[in-house]
Amino acid sequence: MTKVTDADRVLILDTTLRDGEQSPGATMTHAEKLEIAGLLDEMGVDIIEAGFPIASEGDFRAVSEIAKVTHNSVICGLARARLPDIDRAWEALKHAPRSRIHTFIGTSPLHRAIPNLTQDEMAERIQQTVSHARNLCDDVQWSPMDATRTEWDYLKRVVEIAIKAGASTINIPDTVGYTAPEESADLIRRLIEEVPGADEVVFATHCHNDLGMATANSLAAVAGGARQIECTINGLGERAGNTALEEVVMALKVRSDIMPWRTNIDTTKIMNISRRVATVSGFPVQYNKAIVGKNAFAHESGIHQDGMLKNAETFEIMRPEDIGLSATNLIMGKHSGRAALRAKLRDLGFELGDNQLKDVFVRFKELADRKKEVYDEDLVALMRAGDDPENDRLRLKSLRVTCGTERPQQAELTMIIDGEEVSTSQIGDGPVDATFKAVKTLFPHEARLQLYQVHAVTEGTDAQATVSVRMEEAGRIVTGQSADTDTVVASARAYVNALNNLLVRRERSAPGENRREINYKDVV
């Protein structure tokens, strides 16, 4: 089982692939889950909560394969307080060198009322399910969902039951982001002091950000005695999100003078995985996001710039290099060669084979011909554009649009669909609307556009636009991305990219591939 070997060590459980993916529209493909798990493993995450195996065949397969390919992290699967859930989780996890079953049940009055359980009935269920999990796996985590709104005496009672039944980690979730730092610390402290056997297990904290206090509440819980923080990359998660891994890890690193605890995270890998999660989830990082936001190390005020020139520590409490951000944003151009491009991409976290480099170099040169200066952000956008023409059934060949104050706006589009070239001309309420209508005319579908957003990658009128779209069809949610100096072209490619991803999901929708709805009443 995963134990804290010294008093100043804090374990990091990353649940980006489970709780983070539950954020509406953040569904990742199987390959993307494996990739993110690999990055988390390399970064030093202690426990990766890889999914909810009984939720769908896709979740089961992802957890099972992650369990086989990771090298360092404990792989964890979530299970409700039901024996079939626990058995399914163990079936997915049993191949891992180190595995953990995480089982949970809602203990607050509001959550007990949903399955209509008495306190005694729920207590019996906890004892039964935790014992069953412990008989399968020697590392069992148990969570009283909505713990921060559970009656104190009952919370103590069920925590004691879970410990006696064999749980080695007790996670205290603030499921709806209800608590505050002082209360968070006090809750953990009192449980450790008052529950028999509490000194023999690891206490964990799992906070949501509904009131904007997830990071503060998590760190307060550590001060109260918790030695595991549950978090996600970029704070991805339902509603306002989860505790952000990068925030708690860097807070502990920067303020070790007042928070004398450490993690095993290689912080220089934070920026790369942040960018990748933003891409595959379709949730871009806000510019002023702590640690990984675009403006986190940007200084515009004259006073700030003057201070930075004299001494960077004047206005920066950490170095960009600490999180894997290049200290200097060297500019590439049309005269840059392959060796320089390979070296630059390696600095940005991309290791390319010769064939990959050849393809990227061609696209880089095309971009450099249109854009005077190619910045690091442009290269990241180029790598994350989502184009895979060799495997895509739908491809954009050419696009011409008319726009301006005169109506109507028109799009003339040519695509290659399953090897056949087809064309159409459509009008719409603006060039993007006309383009999307043209795509739908050539490739009819019932998918609904849930999200369309545009971000400028860098400054200037020649900046690339990164476009993200999210689409839904029959419960399948897919995202598409692309980048181009022409916003309408980027929009068209992102839309087509999403449709290609949808086709992949359709093909995989053999029975059970998509996450099915879980009836909460089935918790018992």
452-476 confidence digits (pLDDT tens):
988 887 777 778 888 888 888 987 8
379-416 confidence digits (pLDDT tens):
877 776 655 555 689 999 999 999 888 888 999 999 99
CATH 3.20.20.70 in the chain, residue ranges: 11-281
111 annotated as ligand-binding: no
Q: Strands of 6-62 (E only): list them.
A: 11-14, 47-51
Query: Who's near 51: CB < 8 A, 6+ residues apart?
Result: 17, 18, 21, 33, 59, 60, 62, 63, 66, 77, 78, 92
pLDDT of 480 strictly over 80:
yes
Count of helix runs (H) and strand runs (E) in the chain: 16, 14
Q: What is the pTM of this model?
A: 0.81
Fold observed for domain 11-281: TIM Barrel (3.20.20)
CATH 3.30.160.270 in the chain, residue ranges: 394-508
79-131 confidence digits (pLDDT tens):
999 999 999 999 999 999 999 999 999 999 999 998 889 999 999 999 999 99
Nearest one of 89, 104, 76, 70 to 18, comparing CA atoms: 76
Q: Say which residue, 310 or 237, is predicted with more confidence.
A: 237
Nearest one of 282, 242, 252, 290 to 16, comparing CA atoms: 242
Query: Who's near 127: CB < 8 A, 6+ residues apart?
Result: 161, 164, 165
95 annotated as ligand-binding: no
Average pLDDT over residues 127-151: 98
- When the pLDDT of each residue in the chain is averaged and rounded to a whole number, the result is 87
Please check whether residue 217 is in contact with residue 180, taking contact to mean a CB–CB distance below 8 angstroms. yes
CA-to-CA separations, 143 to 5, 17, 213, 455, in angstroms, rounded: 22, 18, 20, 39
Nearest one of 428, 451, 452 to 440, comparing CA atoms: 428
Residue 31's pLDDT band (cuts 50, 70, 90):
confident
The class that CATH gives domain 394-508 is: alpha beta
pLDDT of 513 strictly over 50:
no
The angle at the Cα of 65, spanning 60 to 67, to the nearest 5 degrees, equals 95
CA-to-CA separations, 119 to 106, 109, 131, 158, in angstroms, rounded: 11, 9, 18, 9
The angle at the Cα of 56, spanning 278 to 270, to the nearest 5 degrees, equals 25
What is the predicted pLDDT for the residue at 329? 53
The angle at the Cα of 483, spanning 479 to 488, to the nearest 5 degrees, equals 90
pLDDT of 301 strictly over 50:
no
pLDDT of 223 strictly over 90:
yes
Please check whether residue 221 is in contact with residue 189, taking contact to mean a CB–CB distance below 8 angstroms. no
19 annotated as ligand-binding: yes
- Give CA–CA dist 50/93, Å, rounded: 10
- Give CA–CA dist 58/68, Å, rounded: 16
For the record, the structure tokens of 243 come out as 């505790």
Q: Three-class SS of residue 226?
A: coil
User: What is the edge-to-edge ordering of all strands in the sheet holding 476-484?
Assistant: 448-456, 465-473, 476-484
Q: How are the residues of the chain apportioned to helix, strand and coil, as percentages rounded to the nearest 5?
A: 45, 20, 35
317-364 confidence digits (pLDDT tens):
888 889 888 655 556 777 788 888 888 887 777 777 888 788 888 888
335 annotated as ligand-binding: no
pLDDT of 172 strictly over 60:
yes
